[in-house]
């Protein structure tokens, strides 16, 4: 009982000390804080979640046909598209896909990397090549993009808070009218899911912008889900291997702990 009283007393002292703080309250300025991201439900969430293979393949198509015009994907090689736990294209498909890209060539017999016009020599990409970036470097990108720099997408999902929900919300968050008290800067687009609501990227997706070969209807929402699934994989390509190993490790540890528990009980039996 005494201990209860003392605890209550302590709480009262805390409360009394907090009162002066109340007097100083500030009214927060009209907020341009980003909206809470939407969660459309993902196949890869939770301990049992795996990537939806169809979404990965469709998402790759969206990246290739839409995003790659401005965004690089520098940490993904063509060969990764055939990796287990990824989009799992066949080796043949990957070879054909890579062959359609041109990458800077190695020095030729004369030790040159440029042709007689001074233009860089190129060769068709192979599976071990990485995705070629859309711009030579950041300066070239900014020059072409109204001063903005489209970030590399390899880790875009992992490097943002709220991850896949955030990227999905950005992609589907265009098309709303900015409130009267938020003045848009020149060349910027309103997107309430972006910090401070002004994003340099114009709405990237449009209805039917890609034609899915599996017959899925290419709505904006569908494209966003698919490309976000693909980009989540691009950031965490070993997720399926990780979770599968995790089940085995967990099963082993639970079994091991159970056996140890009985050993522990047996050893201590006489002493307690």
Partner 1 sequence: MHGSRYTPNSGIERWLDRRLPIIRFAQEHLSSYPTPRNLNIWYVFGGILTFCLGVQIITGIVLAMHYTPDSRLAFDSVESIMRDVNSGWLLRYVHANGASMFFLAVYIHMFRGLYYGSYKEPREIIWILGVVLYILMMATAFLGYTLPWGQMSFWGATVITNFFSAFDSLIPGFGTAIVTWLWGGFGVDNATLHRFFSLHYLLPFVIAAVVGLHIWALHVPGNNNPLGIDVKGPQDTLPFHPYYTVKDLFYLSCFMIVFAYFVFFSPNTLGHSINYAPANPLQTPEDIVPEWYFLPFYAILRSIPDKLMGVLALFGSLIVLVLVPWLDTSRVRSCRFRPLYKQFFWILLVDCVILGYCGSKPVDAMLLSTPVPLVWIARIGTAYYFLHFLIVMPIAGLIETPKPIPDSIAKSVLATTPAE
Rounded to the nearest whole angstrom, what is the least distance from the CB of residue 189 to partner 1 in the complex?
Answer: 21
Contacts of 154 (CB under 8 A, 6+ apart): 72, 73, 74, 75, 76, 234, 235
Could you say which residues in the range 113-172 bind partner 1, by CB under 8 A? 154-155, 158-161, 163
Site string for partner 1, 16-45 (x = CB under 8 A): -xx-xxx-xxx-------------------
Rounded to the nearest whole angstrom, what is the least distance from the CB of residue 159 to partner 1 in the complex?
Answer: 4
Tell me which residue has tokens 């049992």.
48
Give the closest residue to 73 by CA, choosing from 133, 145, 5, 6: 133
In terms of CB distance, is 105 or 155 closer to partner 1? Answer: 155
Cα 94-127-115 angle, rounded to 5 deg: 120
Q: Judge whether 127 and 92 are in contact, CB under 8 Å.
A: no
Regarding 6 and contact with partner 1 (CB under 8 A), the answer is yes
Which CA distances in Å does 186 have to 12, 180, 200? 54, 16, 9
Rounded to the nearest whole angstrom, what is the least distance from the CB of residue 9 to partner 1 in the complex?
Answer: 10
Rounded to the nearest whole angstrom, what is the least distance from the CB of residue 63 to partner 1 in the complex?
Answer: 17
Which CA distances in Å does 65 have to 29, 30, 39, 206, 209? 41, 39, 25, 12, 9
Regarding 86 and contact with partner 1 (CB under 8 A), the answer is no
In terms of CB distance, is 108 or 159 closer to partner 1? Answer: 159
Three-state SS for 103-153 is EECCCCCCCCCECCCCCECEEECCCCCECCCCCCCHHHHHHHCCCCCCCCC
Could you say which residues in the range 249-268 bind partner 1, by CB under 8 A? 249-250, 253-254, 256-257, 260-261, 263-264, 267-268
Rounded to the nearest whole angstrom, what is the least distance from the CB of residue 240 to partner 1 in the complex?
Answer: 11
Which residues here bind partner 1, judged by CB under 8 A? Answer: 2-3, 6-7, 10, 14, 17-18, 20-22, 24-26, 47, 75, 80, 154-155, 158-161, 163, 195, 235, 237-238, 241-243, 245-246, 249-250, 253-254, 256-257, 260-261, 263-264, 267-268, 270-272
């Amino acid at each position: 009982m005494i201990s209860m009283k003392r605890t209550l007393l302590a709480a009262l002292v805390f409360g009394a000390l907090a009162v002066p703080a109340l007097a100083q309250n500030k009214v927060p300025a009209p907020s341009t804080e980003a909206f809470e991201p939407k969660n459309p439900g993902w196949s890869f969430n939770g301990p049992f979640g795996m990537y939806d293979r169809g979404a990965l393949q469709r998402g790759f198509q969206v990246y290739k046909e839409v995003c790659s015009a401005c965004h690089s994907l520098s940490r993904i090689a063509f060969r990764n598209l055939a990796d287990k736990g990824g989009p799992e294209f066949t080796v043949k498909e990957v070879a054909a896909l890579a062959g359609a890209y041109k990458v800077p060539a190695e020095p030729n017999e004369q030790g040159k990397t440029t042709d007689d016009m001074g233009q860089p020599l190129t060769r068709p990409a192979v599976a071990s090549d990485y995705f070629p970036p859309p711009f030579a470097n950041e300066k070239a990108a900014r020059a072409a993009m109204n001063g903005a720099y489209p970030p590399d997408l390899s880790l875009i999902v992992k490097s943002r808070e709220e991850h896949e929900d955030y990227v999905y919300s950005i992609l589907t968050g265009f098309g709303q009218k900015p409130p009267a008290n938020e003045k848009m800067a020149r060349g910027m687009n309103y997107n309430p899911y972006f910090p401070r609501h002004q994003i340099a990227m114009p709405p990237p997706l449009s209805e039917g912008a890609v034609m899915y070969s599996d017959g899925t209807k290419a709505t904006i929402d569908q494209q966003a889900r698919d490309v976000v699934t693909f980009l989540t994989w691009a950031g965490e390509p070993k997720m399926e291997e990780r979770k599968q190993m995790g089940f085995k490790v967990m099963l082993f540890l639970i079994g091991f702990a159970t056996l140890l528990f009985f050993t522990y009980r047996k050893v201590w039996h006489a002493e307690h």
